[in-house]
Amino acid sequence: MNSISTHDLLLSIGQRTLVRGLDWTARAGECWSIIGRNGAGKSTLLRTLAGLQQPNAGSVQVNGRALPDWPLAELARQRAFLAQSRHDAFAYTVLESVLSARHPYHANRYWEGSDDHQAAMQALASMEVDDLAARDVRTLSGGERQRVAIAALLAQQTPLLLLDEPANALDLAHQVSVMGLLARLCREQERTVVMIGHDLNLAARISTHVLLLMGDGRWTAGANDQIMRPALLGDYLGHPIDMIEHEGRRIFIPKEGTA
Amino acid sequence: MQASVPPLRQRATLIVGAMLAFSIATLLFAGMTGSIRVPLHEIPDALRQLASGQPDSLSASLLELRASRALVAFATGGALALAGLMMQALLRNPLADPYVLGVSSGASVGALLALLLMTSTLMVDAAALAGAIGVAMLLYLLARRDLRSGQAAEGGASMLLLTGVIVSALCGSVVTLMLSIAPEGRLRSMIFWLIGDLAGAPLRLLPWLVLAGCLLYAMRNARAMNMVALHAENAVTLGVRVGALRKGLFFVSALLTASAVTSAGSIGFVGLIVPHACRFAFGPDHRVLIPAVVLAGGAFLVLCDTLARTIVAPQQLPVGAITAMIGAPVFLYQLHRLRK
């Protein structure tokens, strides 16, 4: 069964401790949202989970095996990572950028196979960007580029998905459809999703679990309905939050400022 | 969509085949062209005489002279173009080039120091390599933080180019210093070496071996180079050992630069314009670019050298002057397009 967990994890930048003693597990079929203020260490944590950064102490395990013990290519068939932003220096096509996500499957071949093309085209279609396949990635709009990047993540076909602000630059309709797709992947295919997001309402709707980061070492993790409470969220986000019920959904809105 | 797989491979074969034919054509053209023309119909006979090791006819001896010089040019051009391509993928910056970044001047300093101390040819080669690697490592250390944080393309690009300019200037002044303290007897060979000329360059096996080895390394890592060019640091999550690849690319491109500089002196801009033109024509996929760039770089320098020795014949120009006159405007054009 796919899972990712941390054991007594310590993350710090300079003198500042971001996360202390994080013992946490995300199991198959769970969809986690990481929520916290700017600079609370969300991206640092996600990059550490992806193996891009070393923790200051503690360890990260994927399927019960510590990250340094995984061969990189094998690990790349287990987990995919969506970076917060990207810069394209060369004129690769959309299709080439998505095909690159198939790298861990054909490391010994010089060219991709037809199954790779199929996976890439399917992923592009699921993000509604298949008509852009031949375009230069540098000519895309921010939202289109983000959807292509998510398509690449899907083409990697991993049980474990780590996403740093997947809703970034997406319009409303695509925010909802991308989030819905991620929730479906957890529900129907038993995949594990860990993502960072700033939209409390999207997170409340699709996450099964939430991890709150305070940015001074403190953290709180648990099931959606235990964590997504106005008082707790307000505490962690540094601004009072109201909750209203609308057609059976919980809607979170920031209280009017006093200033 | 399945149908698009074989065409990708066929297209690559076609491109490389065409480039190979073009390269052979330029070599023959270089052999024919000069103050005394060798007519085309005498070429097969002259080649046969060369193959048997007894160039008796005038055509055969002319061809031998010109072809060996053209072959030196070819290996040099191919090495410079491949070094440029590697640095561009590595630094994710289409303006990177061993000459612009000062790696060539580093090699010059090493080689001139060896010449000043009157050491053997092998020591000159080794000293050039040490100089090239020294500068490459300095650049790597300075660029490392930018590469890590993914800023190499925005603010980092001009930062890196500025660093290269300063390093080149430093190397230039060290060269001037060495020339001014060099004894009279050594001065002539040092100056000739410095001008970057293919005229006196002997045909040696070593640059070809270096080029072949580095080409093999590049082809084996072509897919990983695509990954780094696309995803930078994050290529790790796709199973690429980015750290090892970057070190390898830095070392191999420094080796290629040193090899080119020791055979023909410091020749500029080949590593910039050739990969740029190939990327424009064939797309950014390194699996196609690597062989194409080596062939195109070789052919380009052969043509430039033919031009250099014929344009104001019987006087001969250093080939570096020709490449710079073509390369500098292309570089400026690129720089301004990048700023937009």
Q: B51-85 pLDDT, tens per residue?
A: 787 777 888 888 888 888 889 899 999 999 999 99
Longest dimension (CA), chain A: 62
**Eight-class DSSP state of B283:** -
- Give residue A126's Cα distance to chain centre: 17
Cβ–Cβ < 8 Å for A98, A125: no
| pLDDT at residue A106 greater than cutoff 90 | no
pLDDT of residue B340: 54
Write out the H or E segment, with its range, that includes residue A207: none
Q: Which residues of B114-134 are buried (b: 16+ CB within 10 A; e: fewer)?
A: bbbeeeeeebbbbbbbbbbbb
Q: What is the mean pLDDT of residues A25-48?
A: 91
pLDDT tens per residue, range B186-222: 887 787 777 666 766 677 888 899 999 999 999 999 9
Nearest to B285 by CA among A37, A100, A13: A100
Q: Round the CA-based radius of gyration of chain A to a whole number and report it.
A: 19
Tell whether B3 is covered by a domain: no
The whole-number pLDDT of residue B76 equals 92
A117–B5 C-beta distance less than 8 A: yes
pLDDT, tens digit, for every residue of B249-278? 888 998 999 888 888 877 888 998 999 889
Contact at 8 Å (CB) between B327 and B272?
A: yes
Q: What is the mean pLDDT of residues A194-200?
A: 90
- Compute the distance between CA of residue B338 and CA of residue A25 in angstroms, rounded to an integer: 45
Is B1 within a domain? no
Q: Which residues of A touch B236 (CB under 8 A)?
A: 50-52, 72
Q: Which H helix or E strand runs over B51?
A: helix B43-51
Mean pLDDT of A79-87: 89
Q: Which residues of B touch A54 (CB under 8 A)?
A: none
Total of domains in chain B: 1
- State the DSSP H helix or E strand holding residue A253, giving kind and residue range, or none if neither: strand A249-254
Cβ distance B284 to A110 less than 8 Å, yes or no, reads no
Residues of B in contact with A90 (CB under 8 A): 92, 94, 229-230, 279, 284
**ipTM, two decimals:** 0.86
Q: From A102, which residue of chain B is nearest by alpha-carbon distance?
A: B238
* pLDDT of B152 over the 50 cut: no
Residue B37 placed within a domain: yes
* Chain B closest-CA separation from residue A64 CA (Å): 18
Spatial separation of the C-alpha atoms in residues B245 and B160, rounded to whole Å: 20
User: How deeply is B160 buried, as exposed, middle or buried, from its count of CB atoms within 10 A (0-12, 13-18, 19+)?
Assistant: buried
The answer as to whether B313 is a domain residue is yes
Which CATH number do you get for residue A29?
3.40.50.300
| Residue B149: pLDDT over 60 | no
Q: Do B222 and A110 lie within an 8 Å CB cutoff?
A: yes
User: Where does B150-241 have alpha helices with state H?
Assistant: 155-181, 184-195, 206-220, 222-231
* B173 SS3 class: helix
Residue B310 CB burial class (10 angstroms; 0-12, 13-18, ≥19): middle
Give the domain extent around A228.
1-66+199-259
- Does pLDDT of A145 surpass 50? yes
Q: Given an 8 Å threshold on Cβ–Cβ distance, is B236 in contact with A52? A: yes
Q: CA B132 to CA B271: how far, in whole Å?
A: 15
Q: Check A80 against B236: CB less than 8 A apart.
A: no
Give the predicted TM-score (pTM) of the model: 0.88
How many domains is chain A built from?
A: 1
What are the phi and psi torsion angles at A196 (to 5°)?
-105, 135
What is the token pair recorded at B113?
Answer: 């120091």
Alpha carbon of A62 to those of A66, A156, B93, B110: distances in Å? Answer: 6, 17, 35, 49
> Which residue range(s) make up the domain with B93?
12-339
How far is A103 from chain B, CA to nearest CA, in Å? 6
Q: What is the dihedral of CA B89, B92, B95, B97, to 10 degrees?
A: -40
CATH number at residue B232: 1.10.3470.10
| B window 258-277, beta carbon within 8 A of A | none
Q: What is the mean pLDDT of chain B?
A: 83
Determine how β-strand A160-164 pairs with β-strand A79-82.
parallel
Q: Tens digits of per-residue pLDDT, B108-145? A: 899 888 888 877 777 888 888 899 889 888 887 877 76
Taking residue B206's Cβ as centre, other Cβ atoms within 10 Å add up to 14
Task: Examine residue A214 and state whether it is found in any structural domain, yes or no.
Answer: yes
Residue B322 one-letter amino acid:
I
- Rg over alpha carbons for chain B, rounded to the nearest Å, is 20
Neighbours of A135 (CB within 10 A): 16
Which pLDDT does position B146 carry in this prediction? 61
